[in-house]
Amino acid sequence: MRLLLLLLLSIILMTLDYRTNTVRSIRAGLSVIVYPVQYIVDLPGSFISWSADTFVSRETLQEENASLRTQNQILKAQLQKFTFIEAENVHLRELLQSSKRVGERMLIAELLSVALDPFRRQVVINKGSINDELYVSQPLLDANGIMGKIVHIYPLTSTAILITDPDHSLPVQVARNGLRTIAVGTGSANQLELLYLPNNADIQVGDDLVTSGLGCIFPAGYPVARVIAVNTNPSLPFAEVLAEPTAKLDRSREVLLVWPSNASLPEMQTPCTRTQLDPES
């Protein structure tokens, strides 16, 4: 009997809900009353789900962070390598441009070692007499100017003396006015001294020095140094003039070996040609 009454009441409520808005208003009111109860009942499950998502997300973020840091370190290392390769590429391009300026046969060599004696400025390069037609006193250049010349040739390597060595001298001239002088090494890493210039010589700080071509060793007109100091003393017959080499003597890794043509040497081509063929004479 009770079940029949409940069934009849359900039918009546469904009919009223479908035909009128009365039951809807009651249901809306009941839902407002029941909502806090539903929220409280659902709270433990929501907390457990949130906690699980939070801890899983934290662990995932830590793993992703560690992976990204590793990738970042790898990319930084690769970037350093690419930076070095880019710098080396630029340097080789500069060497190529130097060879075009010289306009003669050239060969790129690499430095193997540098003399440890603080008063000697010599280097060893990876070119020798077996596969390369080198000769004593052959010019050694870099992308910025004259570096020195070869003094000893071995089967696989060669020794070159730099222009800053105390035993090296180089005929030069001032690019501004053609004044000729001799640039000798001082033993310092980046300093040359110009000899036998009178106190009234037309030379000043900032003047560029280039090879004169005299001596039949270095091509004429190639950069050598820039004047950095001019000191005069009336009690002395000559001025003290110092210059800084334009070549990067303490930084260049690749150098340029040049076979000068007769056109780049002075007008006395016959003696110069004979000097190249027999450098010991």
Q: Write a three-state SS string for 135-154.
A: CCCCEEECCCCEEEEEEEEC
Q: Which residue has the higher pLDDT, 261 or 205?
A: 205
CA distances from 58 to 114, 259, 273 (A): 56, 68, 79
Q: Tokens 């004979």 map to which residue?
A: 274
CA distance 23 to 21: 6
pLDDT at 238: 92
Q: Give the integer Cα–Cα distance in Å for 16 and 78.
A: 77
Extract the tokens encoding 194: 């110009």
Across 101-110, 113-122, 228-237, the highest mean pLDDT is recorded for 228-237
Tell me the mean pLDDT in the region 245-258.
86
Could you tell me which of 234, 251, 232, 250 has the C-alpha nearest to residue 242?
A: 232
DSSP tag of 186? -
Neighbours of 143 (CB within 10 A): 22
Is it the case that residue 217 has pLDDT exceeding 90?
no
Closest residue by Cα to residue 194 from 218, 222, 173? 173
What kind and span of H or E run contains 195?
strand 192-195
Q: What are phi and psi of 259, to 5 degrees?
A: -105, 95
Instruction: Please classify residue 213 by burial: count the beta carbons closer than 10 Å to its beta carbon, then call 0-12 exposed, 13-18 middle and 19+ buried.
Output: buried
Q: Are 146 and 211 in contact (CB under 8 A)?
A: yes
Q: How many CB atoms lie within 10 A of CB 110?
A: 11
Q: What percent of the chain has pLDDT over 90?
A: 29
pLDDT band at 82; cut points 50, 70, 90 = low
Helical segments of the chain, H only: 2-19, 22-102, 269-277
Task: Give the whole-angstrom CA distance, residue 37 versus residue 244.
Answer: 90
Confidence at residue 18, expressed as pLDDT on a 0 to 100 scale:
65
pLDDT for 88 equals: 63
**What is the 8-class DSSP label of residue 218?**
S
Task: Indicate the SS3 state at residue 106.
Answer: strand
Tens of pLDDT, residue by residue over 181-197, are 999 999 888 899 999 99
- 76 vs 150, which has greater pLDDT? 150
Contact of 212 with 107, CB cutoff 8 Å = no
Which residues contact residue 111 at a Cβ distance below 8 angstroms, ignoring those fewer than 6 apart? 123, 124, 125, 126, 252, 253, 254, 255
Q: Residue 98 — very low, low, confident or very high, per pLDDT cuts 50/70/90?
A: low
